[in-house]
């Protein structure tokens, strides 16, 4: 598949679901632009686009909790990506292994 075949949104972004390649646990949801995907392919480590900081970032660049990308898949509509990764440390900035550690009926609020 060519990168140009992917369907990016009006901001030039595509959602990326990141999953532990061994446990299959969903670790996080982030966004990537073409530059982030190309950097991921080039280095073998997950890169994303920060919507809040409006810049490219390598996962774990400050924490050391990097994601070694084993495989990248795309969905049937070509509008979402799945990174299968070997996660070093925790994926979530809260210190949890996965960003999806709460249930909808939990008392904790965002």
- How is residue 59 written in tokens? 């996962």
Distance from C-alpha of 36 to C-alpha of 21, rounded to nearest angstrom: 20
Distance from C-alpha of 70 to C-alpha of 86, rounded to nearest angstrom: 7
For residue 110, name the pLDDT band (cuts at 50, 70, 90): low
Distance from C-alpha of 52 to C-alpha of 23, rounded to nearest angstrom: 30
- pLDDT tens for residues 18-51? 999 999 999 999 999 999 999 999 999 999 999 9
Distance from C-alpha of 47 to C-alpha of 58, rounded to nearest angstrom: 4
Task: Please indicate, yes or no, whether the overall pTM of this predicted structure exceeds 0.75.
Answer: yes
């Amino acid at each position: 598949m060519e990168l140009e075949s992917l369907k990016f949104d009006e901001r030039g972004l595509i959602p990326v679901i990141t999953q532990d390649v061994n446990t299959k646990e969903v670790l996080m949801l982030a966004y990537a632009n073409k530059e982030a995907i190309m950097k991921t392919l080039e280095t073998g480590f997950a890169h994303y686009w920060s919507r809040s900081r409006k810049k490219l970032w390598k996962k774990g660049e400050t924490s050391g909790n990097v994601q070694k990308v084993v495989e990248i898949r795309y969905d049937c509509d070509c509008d979402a990506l799945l990174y299968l990764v070997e996660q070093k440390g925790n994926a979530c900035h809260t210190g949890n292994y996965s960003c999806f550690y709460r249930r909808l009926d939990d008392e904790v609020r965002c």
